[in-house]
Amino acid sequence: MSDTTSTTTMDDTLRYELLEGNGPKGAPTGDPVMSVRNLRVSFNTEAGVVHAVRDVNFDLWGGRTLGIVGESGSGKSVTALSLIGLLDDNAHVSGSVKLNGEELIGKSDEEMSKIRGARISMIFQDPLSALTPMFSIGDQLAEALLIHNPDMTKDEVRKRCIELLTLVGITDPENRLDAYPHEFSGGMRQRVVIAIAIANNPDIIIADEPTTALDVTIQAQILDILKVAQKETGAAVVLITHDLGVVAGTADDVMVMYAGRAVERASIDTLFERPSQPYTMGLLGAVPKPHMPAEHRLVPIKGNPPSLAAIPAGCPFSPRCPMATDECRVTEPELLPLEEGEGHLVSCHHMDEIRDKHLTYADVYPALEPLLPKWADVPRDQRPVVLEVKDLVKTFPIQGKGLIRRNKGTMTAVDHASFTIHEGETLALVGESGSGKSTTLMQIMDLVVPEEGTITVLGKKTSELKNARDRRELRRNLQIIFQDPMSSLDPRMPIYDVLAEPLEAQGWDKTKINKRIGELMYLVGINPDYVDRFPSQFSGGQRQRIAIARALATSPKLLLLDEPIASLDVSIQAGIINLLEDLQVQLKISYLFVAHDLAVIRHISDTVAVMHLGKIVEYGDTEEVFTNPQDPYTKALLSAIPIPDPKVERTRERLVYRDGKLIPASSLLPKSLK
């Protein structure tokens, strides 16, 4: 009995996939390289059994890219790791993964290691830890080659290594072979990782968030290289990401995962044109669009992604779904075609309604009340200045090697940066890693007397602060929110103590603190009954809300935000952005928003300062900077943002900043492959 059902679904999966033709490459043809059927993975943990992957089916074709999209905990990475047999020992894997007809599940680690690196290879998220610091780039490339081809001669290996490095766009490959990973930048290292991955002409390349750890401009280049690598090897690529912009530009087919299952599957253009599962709609709608002005508020998907140890009954998305009915809470829908004759699969009980009424994001997620204009009462120029930074300079000594660490020179991290923030306004400080934006933030937070220039907080210069009391007084009005809510809340302290800490430091009494904590919890939307819980009992988004509550505890006038939403799930981000916007209107706080995500900045900020190598290269009104950038670096930065729209993404030409000039990105790719 079970045999017959599994064969029919097998046929169905393949049949529908062959209909997925609404993309740049058309529908797949021929036999798939890999077939995954009824893949299930579960883990044993203290909290119970975690069902990380539940009945996932897909096929891979050479030359095509399957994008697996999902938030953290959706099971996307576990799916990828189970293809290559790299899961922990306590994982229970069942189902079937066939590579050219050969069953991989059940193979021993030894048997799998013959396949790994040769026929299936993997690109990991963090290039910093993917390469061994002890060996040169050449040695590591050679290792990858020699393990699977022990007969290769030294000359052959060297020739192939040079060929591979040229392919991934590393200049001067002959000399670079002897370099060590620490001599390479993050982007260069990821290129080397890609070179290692394609060294043996694999059939399948699995890229697990290959660009998440990289800067936007580098990310765009790496995605280009990945395409080159695919063209060269003819491999099928599995691209795992949470970033819909990345998928839009690279994938042919997309599978959206939620709570360990595929909830929607379609060709790239179909998915973006007509998302039909409420979760996919919400995900696409809740992302701020970098290429459009922010006229509407984002509508977040309420609630949090479920824990895989306690997946809700029925449709796992039902607790967060605006369309959920009783049926959704009882039975889990199957992944079925939206329309006969089309390869668009959707898992939703309300599929027919969505199809027949052509429901879109705007229908499913009702719009929020527009925000009150910020400058309602007083024009901007007349508002008091909250923060003024003038010609700020911060240098770090560069120390020489050896016993006596003589200072060899100085590195200028912040070079004459100036900006002002008025009451109730948001200034975004944008830049890539190493641009000096975080150093600037820390200079302000530390309330130091700068090497050069001045920092004036609420009319008080930092050089005028005499003692600890003056500083503490000022700290009440100046608070910070960090990027990672996992590390910004002490795991050993219940939420009550977390929120009480800034108030105790300001010398509040017990009863006042008690009252204030209740207010704060309500303000950021956390149930005040949860004060006795520990941070680990909250989701990432809730933790960031708690961090915001803590920063707001003393009613500060100025809030410094260090990439406050970068580490949050996509569906949660919109909620936090809205909360920050609400709070600004309610409390008239000013924000200094440090970020690298330009889409979010366009949405939230009033003015933008673009930092590059310690200098502010462009400073002005947000819409002005986005629509009419003046500085070449700003132009390059804007053109590198991945846009969550496959048609826009395919047609636009990216620009790259090189030595003060702009050049088209395609000129950087290896000539033979253009």
Partner 1 sequence: MEEQNNKDEQLTNAQLELQADAAGPGEVKRISYAGLIARRFFRQKSAVVGLTILAILVLLAIFGPFICKYDYTDPDFTAINVAPNARHWFGTDGGGFDLFACVVHGLGRSLVIGLTYAILTTAISAIVGTAIAYARGWGEKIGMWLLDMLLVIPSFLLVAMIVRAASGTQGWIMLILGLTAFGWIGYARTLRTMALSLRERDYVRAAKYMGVPSIKIILRHLIPNLGSILVIDTVLCVISGINSETAYSFLGLGIKAPDTSLGYILSQGSSAMLSAPWIVLIPSVVLIILCVSMQLIGDGLRDAFDPYSRAAGEVADEESKKDEAKKAAAAAAGNAAGSHHE
- Nearest to partner 1 of 201, 527 (CB atom): 527
**Pair 128, 187: CB distance under 8 Å:** no
210-218, 281-289, 526-534, 647-655 -> range binding partner 1 (CB under 8 A): 526-534
Site for partner 1 in 43-62 (CB under 8 A): 43-49
Binding mask 293-322 for partner 1 (x = CB under 8 A): -------x-xxx-xx-xx-x------xx--
Residue type, 127: P
- Residues 82 and 93: beta-carbon distance below 8 Å: yes
User: Least distance in Å: CB of 425 to partner 1?
Assistant: 20
366: three-class secondary structure by DSSP:
coil
* Region binding partner 1 by CB under 8 A among candidate stretches 77-85, 107-115, 500-508, 637-645: 500-508
Q: At residue 287, what is the residue type?
A: V
Stretch that binds partner 1, among 11-19, 157-165, 364-372, 417-425 (CB under 8 A): 364-372
What phi, psi does 526 have (nearest 5°)? Answer: -115, 135
**Residue closer to partner 1 (CB basis): 45 or 463:** 45
Find the shortest distance in angstroms from Cβ 31 to partner 1.
32
Contacts of partner 1 in 240-259 (CB under 8 A): none
CB of 596 to partner 1, least distance (A): 18
Residue located via tokens 């824990």 = 307
Q: Which are the contacts of 89, defined by CB distance < 8 A and separation ≥ 6?
A: none
Nearest C-alpha neighbor of 249 from the set 46, 24, 62, 70: 24
Stretch that binds partner 1, among 177-185, 264-272, 458-466, 543-551 (CB under 8 A): 543-551
Residue carrying the six token digits 């509550």: 549
466 binds partner 1 (CB under 8 A): no
- Rounded CA separation 451/197 (Å): 47
Q: How many residues bind partner 1 (CB under 8 A)?
A: 65
Closest to partner 1 by CB, 91 or 663: 91
Could you say whether residue 482 binds partner 1 (CB under 8 A)?
yes
82-101: contacts with partner 1 (CB under 8 A) = 90, 92
Q: In the numeric block, which tokens belong to residue 597?
A: 């995500």
Point out which residues pair with 258 in neighbouring strands. Answer: 261
Collapsing DSSP to helix, strand or coil, 222 comes out as helix
465 binds partner 1, rule: CB under 8 A: no
Label residues 1-39 b or e (16+ Cβ within 10 Å = b).
eeeeeeeebbeebbebbbbbebbeeebbeeebbbbbbbb
The count of other CB atoms within 10 Å of the CB of residue 249 is 23
In the bound state with partner 1, the residue whose beta carbon lies nearer, of 250 and 488, is 488
In the set 1, 134, 372, 404, which binds partner 1 (CB under 8 A)? 1
- Candidates 230, 280, 438, 488; binder of partner 1 (CB under 8 A) is 488
> How far separated are the first and last CA of the chain, in Å rounded?
52
Choose, by CB under 8 A, the member of 381, 491, 651, 660 that binds partner 1: 491
Whether 605 and 598 have beta carbons less than 8 Å apart is answered as no
Q: Tell which one of 12, 126, 388, 582 touches partner 1 (CB under 8 A).
A: 582
Residue 285: CB partners within 8 Å, gap ≥ 6?
298, 299, 361, 362, 365
Nearer of residues 186 and 303 to partner 1, judged by Cβ = 303
Q: Look up residue 265 and give its two tokens.
A: 């599957």
The 387-416 contact track toward partner 1, x by CB under 8 A, reads ------------------------------
Q: What is d(CA 252, CA 517) in angstroms, rounded to the nearest whole number?
A: 49
Sole window of 204-212, 375-383, 547-555, 625-633 interacting with partner 1 (rule: CB under 8 A): 547-555
Phi and psi torsions of 64, nearest 5°? -110, 155
Q: In what order do the strands lie in the sheet with 236-241?
A: 120-123, 204-208, 236-241, 65-69, 253-258, 261-267, 345-346, 336-337
> Interface with partner 1 includes 448 (CB under 8 A)?
no
Residue number, 180 or 534, with CB nearest to partner 1:
534
375 near partner 1 (CB under 8 A) = no
Q: Does 504 bind partner 1 (CB under 8 A)?
A: yes
Query: Which member of 526, 559, 594, 638 binds partner 1 (CB under 8 A)?
Result: 526
Strand bridging mode 385-399 / 345-346: unpaired
Binder of partner 1 out of 550, 596, 603, 615 (CB under 8 A)? 550
- Interacting residues of 445 by C-beta distance below 8 A, sequence separation 6+: 478, 480, 560
Site string for partner 1, 14-43 (x = CB under 8 A): ----------------------------xx
Between 1 and 341, whose beta carbon lies closer to partner 1?
Answer: 1
Q: Is 555 helix (H, G, I), strand (E, B) or coil?
A: coil
Q: Which residue ranges make up the site for partner 1 (CB under 8 A)?
A: 1, 42-49, 90, 92, 300, 302-304, 306-307, 309-310, 312, 319-320, 366-369, 445, 471-472, 475-476, 478-480, 482-484, 487-493, 501-502, 504-506, 522-527, 534, 537, 545, 547, 550, 554, 575, 578-579, 582
